[in-house]
Chains A and B, each alone.
Chain A
Amino acid sequence: MDWTQTLFWFFFVMTIGSAVFVVTVRNLVHAAFWLMITLFCVAALYVFLQADFLAATQVVVYVGGILVLVLFGVMMTSGKLDVNLKFGQGQLISGGIISIALLVILFLVVHQTNWQTTENRFENEGTTSLIGEAIMREFLLPFEVASIILLIALIGAVLITRKGVKKEDAA
Chain B
Amino acid sequence: MQLEHYLYISIILFSLGVFAVLTRRNAISILMGVELILNSCNLNFVAFSSFITRDITGQMVALFGIVLAAAEAAVFLSIILSIYNEFSSINPDQTDTLKG
Contact = CB atoms under 8 A, between A and B. Distances in A.
Nearest to B15: A103
Given A58-B66, A110-B7, A153-B74, A19 B12 contact: yes
In terms of DSSP, what is the predominant structure of the interface of chain B?
helix
A116 B86 CA distance: 53
Contact of B54 (A62, A76, A107, A118): A118
Interface in A62-119: 62, 65-66, 69-70, 72-74, 76-77, 83, 85-88, 91-92, 94-96, 98-100, 102-103, 106-107, 110-111, 115-118
Contact of A85 (B13, B26, B46, B93): B26
A70 B78 contact: no
Nearest to A121: B50
A139 B71 contact: no
A77 to B, nearest CB: 5
Contacts of A20: 16
A100 B15 contact: yes
Interface residues of B, number: 70
Interface of A: 4-5, 8, 12, 15-16, 19-20, 22-23, 28, 31-32, 35, 38-39, 42, 45-46, 48-51, 53-54, 57-58, 61-62, 65-66, 69-70, 72-74, 76-77, 83, 85-88, 91-92, 94-96, 98-100, 102-103, 106-107, 110-111, 115-118, 120-122, 127, 130-131, 134-135, 139, 142, 146, 149-150, 153-154, 156-158, 160-161, 163-165, 167-168
